[in-house]
């Protein structure tokens, strides 16, 4: 059995743990599929590259609003796809090859399972190997959830892992799920010409968002797509390329392709964690403490396999924490417990931070609400935007920012001053009144929402 000082399971954010400071250690990286992880290969980056292309398409289509005569001749999907993945696959391969050329790092291309405390069996194409390690980092990520009615049908379906690499957009696309993955990919394929039907068991899309965002986004989406809200899938029939989705009210959705986007699940069930003494939560997430240590001595975890907020910027932060703590066991650090901002890259964009209004209400907080519309600031006029808004929630009396929610162009960037303020403990009145806010920049919508709190 070969022994390594450190073994990292997963070469997504896990690959970022090892830098030059680990050169004196015997390090191994185990990856079964993609160097760069979900984000690079089938998640954040390709979806946003495609979403920006979709944004360009809609800009051309809506140019008449600005008295510009423009005609969209078409979207060359294969060229778009190949531009996106030609670039990203090169980055993936360069990262893999760089690790394989590193004399201090051993790369195992295969699947790992624990056989005991800090011991692993790695299944590779050329046979299995057993290794032990002084320390192990579990960064094996997650995968899309596929409901029983889909798998039982035995008919083709796509997930976010596969759909962005298809050869051609379908004429009719059915999307199961109404969260951010479903919303972003509906944006992409709707812009390329697919007729999109979304089946969502909740009454609104983006249900976890603030209630105002969810209501307004759903209303806008309803003008573009066929929404089947409050409905669940009971069966999939038909044949490849001509699917029939039966819903719980007896209605049928006909589609050429089915995209399943109902959520993700940690890959913890594939690692035999119990053999190593690594505990998991009921939902499969690996249990970690504030320093990313699991319940097993010498085993750390990071990213989607353990976090309650499965976002790339969270995994990146946790990778830095693990890297430090591996090298400095007497000076442990943590990722912090502050609210994590998030964004949905649709048209319009959505960005969120902290508590929603329904959460404030349910927790019985004494809070204030400040709102401002894009249509009421000068740059909103320039953009002819009539639906965008900013909503800020603050604690009455102190002005402490509890949450913030934006829907509209550049929302993912506009929320950042509020993120900084909350992280640094800057109250809403100070944030509104102390810095200059550029006129007539779109950031005035944030300033106006803060002023609307009346503090």
CATH label of the domain that carries residue 382:
3.30.390.30
Q: Do 258 and 155 lie in a common domain?
A: yes
Are residues 104 and 190 located together in one domain of the fold? no
Mark whether 17 and 135 lie in a shared domain. Answer: yes
pLDDT at position 337:
80
Q: How high is the pLDDT of residue 332? A: 98
Residue 332 lies in a domain: no
**pLDDT, tens only, 121-161:** 999 999 999 999 999 999 999 999 999 999 999 999 999 99
Domain of 193, CATH number, reads 3.50.50.60
My answer on whether 19 and 31 are in the same domain is yes
**Which of the four pLDDT bands, split at 50, 70 and 90, describes residue 15?**
very high
The CA angle 20-23-28, to the nearest 5 degrees, is 105
Q: Are both 357 and 375 inside the same structural domain?
A: yes
Residues 222 and 321 in one domain: no
Look at residue 255 and tell me if it is in a domain: yes
Mean pLDDT over each residue of the chain, to the nearest integer: 97
- Determine how many CB atoms are found less than 10 A away from the CB of residue 167: 7
The predicted pLDDT at position 9 comes to 98
Please write the tens of the pLDDT for every residue from 294-329: 999 999 999 999 999 999 999 999 999 999 999 999
Share of the chain above pLDDT 70, in %: 100
Residue 334 lies in a domain: no
- Residues 6+ positions from 190 with CB-CB distance below 8 Å: 54, 196, 224, 225
Q: Are residues 217 and 269 in the same domain?
A: no
For residue 237 the two structure tokens come to: 């029939």
Going by pLDDT thresholds of 50, 70 and 90, the confidence category of residue 236 is: very high
Average pLDDT over residues 373-390: 98
Residues 73 and 129 in one domain: yes
The whole-number pLDDT of residue 56 equals 98
Q: How confident is the model at residue 338 (pLDDT cuts 50, 70, 90)?
A: confident
Cα–Cα distance between 52 and 383 in angstroms, integer? 17
| pLDDT over 90, % of the chain | 99
What global pTM score does this model have?
Answer: 0.96
Catalogue the long-range contacts made by 127-132 (C-beta closer than 8 Å, 24 or more residues apart).
Answer: 129/2, 130/1, 130/2, 131/1, 131/2, 131/3, 131/4, 131/7, 131/28, 132/1, 132/2, 132/3, 132/4
User: Rounded to whole angstroms, what are the CA distances from 282 to 18, 286, 289, 364?
Assistant: 30, 9, 16, 28
340 lies in some domain: no
20 and 135 in one domain? yes
pLDDT of residue 422: 96
- Please, which pLDDT band fits residue 59 given cuts at 50, 70 and 90? very high
Asked whether residue 333 is assigned to any structural domain, the reply reads no
207 has pLDDT over 90: yes
**Judgement on whether residues 380 and 436 belong to the same structural domain of the protein:** yes
Q: Identify whether residues 15 and 136 lie together within a single domain.
A: yes
4 is catalytic: no
Domain of 19? 2-143+265-327
Q: Which one of the listed residues 3, 52, 328, 439 is annotated catalytic?
A: 439
Residue where one domain finishes, among candidates 243, 262, 281? 262
Give the chain's domain count. Answer: 3
Establish if 337 belongs to a structural domain.
no
Contacts 24+ apart (CB under 8 A), 200-204: 200/227, 200/228, 200/229, 200/230, 200/231, 201/230, 201/231, 201/232, 202/178, 202/229, 202/230, 203/229, 203/230, 204/178, 204/229
Co-location of 243 and 288 in the same domain: no
């Amino acid at each position: 059995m070969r022994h390594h000082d450190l073994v990292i399971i997963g070469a997504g954010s896990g690959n970022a743990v090892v830098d030059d400071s680990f050169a004196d250690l015997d390090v191994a990286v185990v990856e079964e599929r993609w160097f760069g992880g979900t984000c690079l290969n089938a998640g954040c980056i390709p979806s946003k590259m495609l979403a920006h292309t979709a944004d360009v398409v809609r800009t051309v289509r809506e140019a008449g609003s600005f008295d510009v005569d423009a005609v969209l001749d078409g979207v060359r999907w294969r060229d778009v796809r190949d531009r996106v993945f030609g670039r990203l696959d090169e980055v993936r391969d360069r990262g893999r090859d760089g690790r394989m050329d590193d004399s201090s790092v051993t790369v195992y291309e295969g699947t790992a399972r624990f056989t005991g405390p800090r011991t692993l069996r790695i299944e590779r194409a050329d046979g299995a190997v057993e290794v032990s390690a002084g320390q192990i980092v579990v960064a094996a990520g997650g995968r899309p959830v596929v409901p029983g009615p889909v798998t039982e049908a035995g008919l083709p379906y796509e997930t976010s892992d596969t759909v962005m690499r298809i050869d051609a957009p379908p004429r009719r696309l059915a999307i199961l799920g109404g969260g951010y993955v479903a919303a972003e990919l509906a944006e992409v394929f709707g812009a390329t010409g697919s007729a999109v039907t979304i089946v969502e068991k909740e009454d609104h899309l983006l249900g976890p968002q603030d209630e105002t965002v969810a209501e307004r986004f759903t209303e806008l989406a309803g003008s573009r797509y066929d929404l089947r809200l409050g409905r669940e899938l009971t069966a999939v029939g038909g044949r490849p390329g001509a699917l029939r989705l039966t819903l719980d009210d007896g209605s049928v959705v006909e589609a050429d392709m089915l995209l399943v986007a109902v959520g993700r699940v940690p890959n913890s069930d594939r690692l035999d964690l119990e053999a190593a003494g690594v505990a998991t939560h009921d939902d499969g997430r690996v249990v970690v403490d504030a320093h990313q240590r699991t319940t097993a001595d010498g085993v750390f975890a990071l990213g989607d396999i353990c976090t309650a907020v499965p976002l790339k910027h969270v995994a990146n932060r946790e990778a830095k924490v693990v890297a430090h703590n591996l090298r400095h066991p007497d000076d442990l650090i943590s990722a912090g417990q502050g609210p994590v901002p998030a964004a949905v890259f649709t048209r319009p964009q959505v960005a969120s931070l902290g508590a929603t209004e329904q959460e404030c209400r349910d927790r019985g907080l004494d809070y204030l609400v400040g709102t401002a519309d894009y249509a009421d600031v000068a740059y909103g006029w320039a953009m002819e935007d009539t639906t965008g808004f900013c909503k800020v929630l603050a604690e009455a009396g102190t002005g402490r920012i509890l949450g913030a929610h934006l829907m509209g162009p550049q929302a993912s960037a506009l929320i950042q001053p509020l993120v900084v303020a909350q992280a640094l403990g800057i109250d809403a009145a100070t944030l509104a009144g102390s810095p200059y806010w550029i006129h007539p920049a779109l950031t005035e919508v944030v300033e106006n929402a803060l002023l609307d709190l009346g503090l």
